[in-house]
Chains A and B, each alone.
Chain A
């Protein structure tokens, strides 16, 4: 591996000002993905060789997990996934998030991997990840998945580029209506996660709103709702051994008696961003859940799917998960 510079950030502001100074600097948290990225020399016309790492772990209080009944939950971007999955406040009040944080990778990686890193990690597209392919996402002029091997690629909302969003935690954050607090060189701003992720249509080089010098400070989730019912499932190639998702789902139903008042059904692994199945949500709104309704919701959600040569099976997997999530959430 080549040598890279290292700068320890003292504060969020320090981090962004350092990043503004160096166009080839990159923030590092757990590093479980970034170091491999650098080692593999994944560079391209618009994917620079990262020469300096700005360490965010040295920022004080950046990994705090705070909960109050009135304010809800706030988690620093540097909190490790294993800290979140085992935090009593998270387990007791946001079991969906605890579950989602316990799903990625292995215990070793969750011990170093952070919330921010999981949300902002780069996609797993094998053309992006192999240096030889100069694809759109590296600044090239081709998407190899379109003519090539695409069994893990997007079935929805692909355009130019057909990556899928790799985060296991992000769908849970969308389903829980979470917000992101971001440090920019101009100051702090707050963005709901429903607007945090961006697709290739908006900018093929990025997967979220963060610009080069921006960093995620923390996330916040409103107080828990006693009428929420939830479900989370991840389908992966290697059933028992950790793997990235083929499809995963985070579903929150807000119940009124035995009818669905409102819902958030969010899938990862199907689209370039965590994807909300609004068509399915519309089908179940105000209804009592049964097998036929759940099946109808799943079919409705997948009407818009446009699979490629190898990934049509993901449509069926997504339907299974939508159907099961609705049924299991109320079971």
Chain B
């Protein structure tokens, strides 16, 4: 019986932790069909929130095959996309309506704090 209660408590704790854990926000501007910054570095194995502001007078579609994301951002508007948890690596994204200019990369790497601790 105690084991069952313990297991439920652990599950509840993990559930609450995931609920309470603050999701880090990253902001990207889209201007003249270019992403600023074009490289976003995020921590590995964590879900993050990407807020994209379209400052152009035309709509754009944020698209990424490796991230499996696809979202229209209306002219002079913003859009929010959740990405991750991801393995370390580079994940390209682009604007579907202007793929030659609107390009960027999400760089996923282990947090520096952990690397410092390891040293």
Are A and B interaction partners? no
